[in-house]
Amino acid sequence: MSSITQALQFVNHQIQQALAQAHRPANSVDLLAVSKTKPLSDIAQAYQAGQRRFGENYVQEGVDKILESRQQAWLNEPIEWHFIGPLQSNKTRLVAEHFDWMQTLDRAKIADRLAAQRPEQMAPLQVCIQVNISQEQAKSGVSLAEVDALAAHIAQQPQLNLRGLMAIPQNLGQGQALAEQFKAMGEKFAELQQQYASVDTLSMGMSGDMQLAINHGSTMVRVGSAIFGQRG
Ligand SMILES: *Cc1c(COP(=O)(O)O)cnc(C)c1O
């Protein structure tokens, strides 16, 4: 068995354990395998082990892998590709034309461009609003107070489908501050679900804070190096 296959099994096992500890149903959290900087051959190994959902941070690198993956003999079911990096407005077309999900949407202007550029024959782009939950100056994302306005804006665009919220908290370990931030995300997510039938995704939690995120209602965890190894 390859090390990627083993690591993937281990991470899936950790997710199920965290769910059990949180008294949540099995399989109620999806794993996004973050494959940034890793070659398509690594993605192929994870795919052969059953993984279908991959996340990329750099637009051009992601698009190259998406196109290359479609040429592969091993691809018998489609991969679900998630864009999870910062996006400049001059790169929106690449995301609109190639990705299935855009998790880091934080501006109405970017939403408008993605909607206009999404090809009509494709399914709507699935989007999450990125929340800057740690209120860091440098990080992208809207404040919790700004979520409703952006959600309403996205909901008007037929080429976009609002799926939920995403956050990358500051690295605070497993401390009380992080728990409070995850709790606030969980509450906002529940509120949004009341308003929009399409909302089902709370993307939060990585290797180090998976249990805490799952305790607070995460439905998608994003894991890279624990599956593919450290990035060079
Ligand atoms: C890189 C990245 C991850 C995964 O990080 P690892 O430390 O490799 O597990 C998760 N989410 C986002 C947004 C990332 O950029």
Extended strands (E) in the chain: 30-34, 53-56, 80-83, 101-105, 125-131, 160-167, 201-203, 220-223
Assigned token pair, 88: 């400049």
Distance (Å) from CA 223 to ligand 1 centroid: 6
CATH of the domain at 219: 3.20.20.10
- Find the farthest-apart pair of alpha carbons in the chain and give their distance in angstroms, rounded: 48
Assigned token pair, 15: 């997710």
- In angstroms, the Cα distances linking 34 to 47, 129, 172, 219 are 13, 18, 21, 16
55 lies in which domain range?
3-228
* Statement: the pTM of the whole predicted model exceeds 0.85: yes
Distance (Å) from CA 17 to ligand 1 centroid: 21
Classify 113 as helix, strand or coil.
Answer: helix
DSSP 27: T
Residues with CB under 6 A from ligand 1: 34, 36, 57, 84, 168, 206-207, 222-226
The total number of structural domains that make up the chain: 1
pLDDT by residue, tens only, the chain of 232 residues: 789 999 999 999 999 999 999 999 999 999 999 999 999 999 999 999 999 999 999 999 999 999 999 999 999 999 999 999 999 999 999 999 999 999 999 999 999 999 999 999 999 999 999 999 987 766 789 999 999 999 999 999 999 999 999 999 876 656 788 999 999 999 999 999 999 999 999 999 999 899 999 999 999 999 999 999 998 8
DSSP 142: B
The residue whose CA is least distant from atom 11 of ligand 1 is 222
Helices (H) and strands (E) in the chain, counts: 9, 8
